[in-house]
A and B are shown apart, each in its own frame.
Chain A
Amino acid sequence: GNSVTQMEGPVTLSEEAFLTINCTYTATGYPSLFWYVQYPGEGLQLLLKATKADDKGSNKGFEATYRKETTSFHLEKGSVQVSDSAVYFCALRFAERDDKIIFGKGTRLHILP
Chain B
Amino acid sequence: NAGVTQTPKFQVLKTGQSMTLQCAQDMNHNSMYWYRQDPGMGLRLIYYSASEGTTDKGEVPNGYNVSRLNKREFSLRLESAAPSQTSVYFCASTAGLAGGEQFFGPGTRLTVL
Interface residues of A (CB under 8 A from B): 32, 34, 36, 42-46, 49, 51, 89, 91, 93, 95-96, 98-101, 103-106
Binds A, one of B13-21, B38-46, B67-75: B38-46
Total of A-B residue pairs, C-beta within 8 Å: 61
Q: Using a CB-CB cutoff of 8 Å, which residues 1-32 of chain B contact chain A?
A: 4, 31
Interface pair A95/B42, CB less than 8 Å apart: no
Besides A104-B42, A106-B42, 11 more A-B contacts (Cβ < 8 Å) are A32-B98, A34-B102, A42-B107, A43-B90, A43-B92, A43-B105, A51-B98, A95-B98, A99-B31, A101-B94, A103-B43
Interface residues of B (CB under 8 A from A): 4, 31, 33, 40-43, 45, 48, 50, 56, 58, 90, 92, 94, 96-107
Distance in angstroms between the alpha carbons of A61 and B99 in the assembled complex: 21
Closest to B91 in A: A43
Interface pair B42/A49, CB less than 8 Å apart: no
Known: A105-B40, A105-B41, A105-B42. A98 touches B90 (CB 8 A): no
Q: Collect the chain A residues with CB atoms within 8 Å of residue B103's CB.
A: 46
Distance in angstroms between the alpha carbons of A106 and B90 in the assembled complex: 15
Kindly name the residue among A91, A95, A98 whose own CB sees the greatest number of chain B CB atoms within 10 A.
A95
Closest to A98 in B: B50
Known: A42-B106, A43-B107. A99 touches B94 (CB 8 A): yes
Interface pair A49/B40, CB less than 8 Å apart: no
Interface pair B99/A101, CB less than 8 Å apart: no
